[in-house]
Amino acid sequence: MLKRYFISLLGSLTAIWISVMLVMILGMTFAISSVVRTFDSSKPVAKVEKNSILCLDLSGVIEEKGSLANIYDVLNEKPQPAVLSDIIDAIDAARSDRKISGIYINCEGASAGIATRESIRKALADFKKSGKWIISYANTYSQGDYYTASVADEMFLNPIGEVDLRGLVSGIPFFKGFMDKVGVEMQVVKVGTFKSAVEPYILTHMSEANRLQTRTFLDNIWGKITEEISKSRNVSVESLNHLADTLGALLPAEQLIEQKIVDGLKYTDQMEEYLKDKTGKSVDEDLNLINVRDYLASAPEVPHKKSEKNKIAVYYACGDITEGGNEGIASDRVVPDILNLANDDDIDAMVLRVNSGGGSAFASEQIWHAIEVFKEKGKSVYVSMGDVAASGGYYISCGAEKIYAEPMTLTGSIGIFGLIPCAKTLLNEKLGVNIDFVETNENSSAPNIFEPMTPFQYARMQNMVERGYDLFTRRCAEGRHISQDSIKAVAEGRVWDGMTAQKIGLVDELGSLNDAIEALAKAKGYKKYQIVSYPSEKDNFLDMLLKLNSQMKLNAIKNELGSYYPIYKRLKELQELDPVQARMEPIEIN
């Protein structure tokens, strides 16, 4: 009895101790986040003086939309990601701001998609029409930064710096060899000759169809990049390709001046002196450099933010499409959001900003339906595509009245597939694990990872995928107002660049998010309008805590696995996938 009493008492004290520690941790985290918010809000608003220079730092990640600050990053003093819409707004505002003399682009190696860079470059080109100057500088120009900054009036480079122009490459890791070694077979059902998202699990190299589509859009995008650099720098496309072919990045910097790739060589202190001279400052005076975040905090007049009425919702749909979760495009969050906007009397128009390679076919259909409900209320929907709006990303876009894409957006990939792993060899032969079933019906346990699918099960899965493909192409045909056969002719899972997508009817116009917004405002007859961004980011303590916990776990896994982390990540993604996917493989263009 006494022993049970002490065990019970010890258990109670342990529970109390754990509760107290948890409350303390929560309280400390809350206090830290409060301090961070207080610190941010107490910072003095930057003063924009005469002859100020807007400083555009091309460094770190550029996101589509701002998000809650990650406490882990704040505590580790990591800079918050730049936001594309903020960059565009700042450039647009500076164009007519008499206190801004010009823009200085500091190129330090930004991480951004090609269409994102294209959008920034276009905004910079529009800025130049005001007669103001743009100057860029880099210790070393990455290829992406050079493309963005090549619109500048003058480009400067560190005397021992490089310009890394080498052309585009798309690399895809293939896991079949690894899966064969560990004893896992990936069972695939799909529709679409070009639907290549399944290839890494069933092949050891690209199929000819995938190589063809990749070569086509890479050539088109590289052609667009070199054409724009050629016009801005007055250098022939042939010269740019020769530089890329011969590893021009390794040339002495002086030769880059001779080839008109840059205009001059300066160290950072010399660059500062040059900017001072440009704005009439003496050597002893401070340079009036103001970054994007501080400039927007000073409340400049952004051209399109003009009215409290005529609200246009801009809904950001970025990331993987899933049925649930706190990240990406989760239908259980997005659908209620769009239905609420459909019932909001203050909102009559919406631009859906899509940056997604797709995901769950089921979730994509639910979001498509919610957009149809929005339209049934007599409200207008345009789509603006970012770096990628393919597969499920195109599914949720196809019902819009008009679709805008950047010339270098990757879109299309209209196709469906299913993946069912079979780990029988791994379990039976390598691990010595045997699974036995007692079933009431012939397929009670199907599908499962312990046994390969039977021909009957394969046929059932194939029929389901084909029904999904038929529905997908029908939705596209209805949305684009063309026949289903016409859609199928350009579908088959093929990925298209934005320029080609417009020619074949998958896209209406080539342009940026702002172009789509302005076109929608004009169609609605709005002379003045206000943009309201969704989904709104609530300063929710629990969400912040969950993000902190998730980040800490992720970092621990990365540290533990080291170079094996990419394989772990891909296998974990497979484990969490819905059975039927409208998704393109992740394509990283360098």
Going by C-beta distance under 8 Å and a sequence separation of 6 or more, which residues neighbour residue 61?
81, 82, 110, 111, 112
pLDDT of residue 26: 45
**Domain 52-166+247-297 sits in which CATH superfamily?**
2-enoyl-CoA Hydratase; Chain A, domain 1 (3.90.226.10)
Per the annotation, the verdict on 391 as an active-site residue is: yes
For the chain, which residues score pLDDT lower than 70? 1-46, 67-79, 303-307, 537-558, 560-561, 563-579, 587-590
Q: What is the amino acid identity at position 460? A: R
Cis omega before residue 535 (within 30°)? yes
User: What tokens appear for 409 in the block?
Assistant: 């957006």
Candidates 65, 122, 195, 266; catalytic one: 195
Show the 3-state SS of 383-420: EEEEEEEECHHHHCCCCCCEEEECCCCEEECCCEEEEE
Residues of the chain with CATH 3.90.226.10: 52-166+247-297, 311-420+460-583
**In this predicted model, what pLDDT tens digit does every residue of 389-428 receive, in sequence order?**
999 999 999 999 999 999 999 999 999 998 889 999 998 9
d(CA 237, CA 417): 40
> Which pLDDT does position 2 carry in this prediction?
38
**Is 195 a residue of the active site?**
yes
Name the one residue in this structure whose structure tokens are 């924009």.
48
CATH number of the domain located at residue range(s) 311-420+460-583 in this protein: 3.90.226.10
Spell out the long-range contacts of 538-544 with Cβ–Cβ below 8 A and sequence spacing 24 or more. Answer: 539/37, 539/68, 540/68, 541/30, 541/33, 543/68, 543/326, 544/29, 544/33, 544/68, 544/69, 544/70, 544/71
* Residue written as token pair 């339906």: 369
Q: What is the pLDDT of residue 551?
A: 59
pTM: 0.86
Give the CA dihedral 449, 577, 575, 442, nearest 10 degrees.
-20
10 phi and psi angles, rounded to 5 deg: -60, -40
542-575 pLDDT per residue, tens: 555 555 565 566 666 667 667 666 666 656 665 5
Could you say which of 119, 142, 232, 391 is catalytic?
391
Triad 328, 572, 428: Cα angle to 5°: 155
Q: What is the pLDDT of residue 25?
A: 46
